[in-house]
Structure 1
Amino acid sequence: MRISEFKNGKAEARYRTAYERALTRLLPDDRTTHDVPTGYGTTRAYQLGPATGQPIVLLPGSGGNALMWHAYLAPLAERHPVLAVDTVGEPGASVQSAPVKDGRDAADWLEELLAALDVTGAHLVGCSYGGWIALHHRLRHPGRTARLTLVDSAGLADLAKGFYRWIILGGLAALAPRPLRPSLARKLGNSAILDEELMSLLRASTGFRRRLPLATTLTDEDLRSLSTPTLALLGERSALHDAAGTAERLHRLAPGVTVRTVPGAGHSLTTDAPQDVLEAILTPLPHRAG
């Protein structure tokens, strides 16, 4: 299997320049930068917040990196140690060196990263593809994490038929002239295209060849085995899956999982409803017997 990489040196240099510019503009200056060797490549992670407390680990969605969480870092770091990660194999500052073939590999990569940084009792927060990685990590390495927050996560139910069309149209909308983007964002239900810094980074990543596995749906048995306190936050109008059907599946198979559906929000939940997502991350989950 091949690995994710830039198509040539020019494409990589273009992206690195855009990434460093966005990093300087978006992330707080008091961050600590880690470049951690793993069996799958060197992984970039940014650490903020106090030295003690339950660590929050932020995993981005497909095609994104730690910078997608920029609006969340300061409020989260007021209360918790925060680790924002550039997933290996995604466009960012991490550099992949070995294939990630499936969810087991993705889980093992994350375990290597967290172990190297001595992160225990973590609260994993995964958006979309990052949620899928968080789920597989919990299944394969259950002792490392104490809580999961899944932000319109992949893997909870089968993909909606129009999801890839939504992805393609969102990418095209990001290339449209800035005055047209608000109306396109409303029509597509994708507020992420209004984040100019991240869209500039997305446009710079067109020379990146992503070769990570598809986020397959977890089995019934996998969902039944979820015992870690977990919150599944769903966008009512998500293009990823049918929110009502996903909620029903979780209620039926994983009654210990707390499910919340955000009215009017879509798959771009972190930008559609940032206050809802922030409160969901910071609010303790209700105790569930058993």
Structure 2
Amino acid sequence: MPVTYRILGAPSLAVDLAGHGPFALFMHGIGGNRSNWRAQLPAFAPHFACAAWDARGYGGSEDYEGALAFDDFVDDVLRVLDHFGVERAHLVGLSMGGRIAMRTALRHPDRIATLTLLDTHEGFEAFTPEQRQAFVDSRRAPLLAGKEPADIADAVARSLVGPKATPAQLQQLVDSIAALHKASYIKSLQATVDQVVLGDISLIAAPAHFVVGADDRLTPPAMHHEMAAKMGGAPVSVLPDAGHLSNIENAEAFNQAAIEWLTPRASMGSTPGHWPI
């Protein structure tokens, strides 16, 4: 069973940790929390020290004052690594978590061993202005009009999952969205849309593996092949029977593909230097 740690600071962060070995940090999407990785930690734990965080303003992590700059997430990644005494980490990021992972690899290449990037994109430059507006309006506008995350959870979840998602998988995503901290989620929406580009991802030195659901409508497979080409022809695993939440919708296929690629590269990362209380 994972042990929950609290990373002190402003804001404090909640992190679940399971297993032993090289450190791998799992980062959820903009509508998620650390529970989105509950099918991954047991599978990866025999090979890695697996940490799943709640990003600032999500789940068990604290809210914070002022606006959010996207690079605040990057600074938080370093806080987690430093807390566990990790020199170089494997990053596994879904959607917004994938963008955080790529941005961290660009800003701090010496701290990142590999990237496993799921159902993500390199910034809203890849979307038309109409797509950007639709993304924000479907989420932020109802909240600013007085609705709560629970009020939009079902509609947003259904827009993300593929047609073969089970009721249980859909409900897991609905629960994640319903649990969002409203003010912090609005800040995340603004910050992620404001950051039109992450930077030149061709400059990322860390080996990368892209994973995408075959039925992902928001960030489709073609988008991942384009990013992979910029990153030296990185491999792309397209998972059947999955939409934008491929690690939830087809957990078995994701775990197999990700572990097969990552395990031979495990030694590129560092094991935790200490296990704080």
- How high is the TM-score relative to the length of structure 2? 0.74
Show the counterpart of 1:199: 174
Amino acid aligned to 2:165: S
Asked whether the 8 Å contact 1:185–1:194 carries over to 2, the reply is no
- Where does 1:73-222 land on structure 2 (aligned, <5 Å)? 73-90=41-58, 92-99=59-66, 101-155=68-122, 158-159=126-127, 161=131, 163=135, 175=154, 189=163, 191=165, 194-195=168-169, 196=171, 199-205=174-180, 209-210=184-185, 211-212=187-188, 213-214=191-192, 216-218=195-197, 222=200
Instruction: Tell me the distance in 1 between the aligned counterparts of 2:112 and 2:243.
Output: 27
RMSD between superposed Cα atoms in Å: 3.4
Offset of residue 144 of structure 1: 1.3
Q: CA-to-partner distance for each residue in 1:162-214, whole Å, 9 max, x for gaps?
A: 6568879x9778559xxxxxxx6899648386334553453344755421211
Instruction: Tell me the distance in 1 between the aligned counterparts of 2:82 and 2:251.
Output: 30
Q: Does 1:34 align with 2:5?
A: yes
Amino acid aligned to 1:42: S
Asked whether the 8 Å contact 2:26–2:50 carries over to 1, the reply is yes
Offset of residue 247 of structure 1: 1.0
Show the counterpart of 1:25: none
Which protein shows a greater Rg? 1
Asked whether the 8 Å contact 1:34–1:44 carries over to 2, the reply is yes
Instruction: Tell me the distance in 1 between the aligned counterparts of 2:160 and 2:231.
Output: 33
Identity, % of aligned positions: 25
SS for the counterpart of 1:126 is: strand
Show the counterpart of 1:231: 209
SS for the counterpart of 1:96 is: coil
Kindly tell me: are residues 204 and 262 of structure 1, through their superposed partners in 2, closer, same or farther at Cα, counting changes over 3 Å? Answer: closer
Higher RCO structure, 1 or 2 (CA under 8 Å, sep 6+):
2
Stretches of structure 1 that go unaligned for 5 or more consecutive residues are 1-27, 177-183
Offset of residue 130 of structure 1: 0.6
Instruction: Tell me the distance in 1 between the aligned counterparts of 2:5 and 2:205.
Output: 31
Instruction: Tell me the distance in 1 between the aligned counterparts of 2:176 and 2:219.
Output: 26
Show the counterpart of 2:26: 58
Kindly tell me: are residues 120 and 283 of structure 1, through their superposed partners in 2, closer, same or farther at Cα, counting changes over 3 Å? Answer: farther
Asked whether the 8 Å contact 1:59–1:131 carries over to 2, the reply is yes
Offset of residue 268 of structure 1: 1.8
Stretches of structure 2 that go unaligned for 5 or more consecutive residues are 141-148, 266-277
Instruction: Tell me the distance in 1 between the aligned counterparts of 2:183 and 2:3.
Output: 26
Q: Does 1:43 align with 2:18?
A: no
Structure 1 residues 185-194 or 237-246, which shifts more?
Answer: 185-194
Q: Does 1:69 align with 2:42?
A: no
Structure 1 residues 148-157 or 200-209, which shifts more?
Answer: 200-209
Residues matched between the structures, number: 246
Kindly tell me: are residues 163 and 274 of structure 1, through their superposed partners in 2, closer, same or farther at Cα, counting changes over 3 Å? Answer: farther
Offset of residue 37 of structure 1: 2.0
Name which of 179, 202, 225 aligns with 1:247: 225
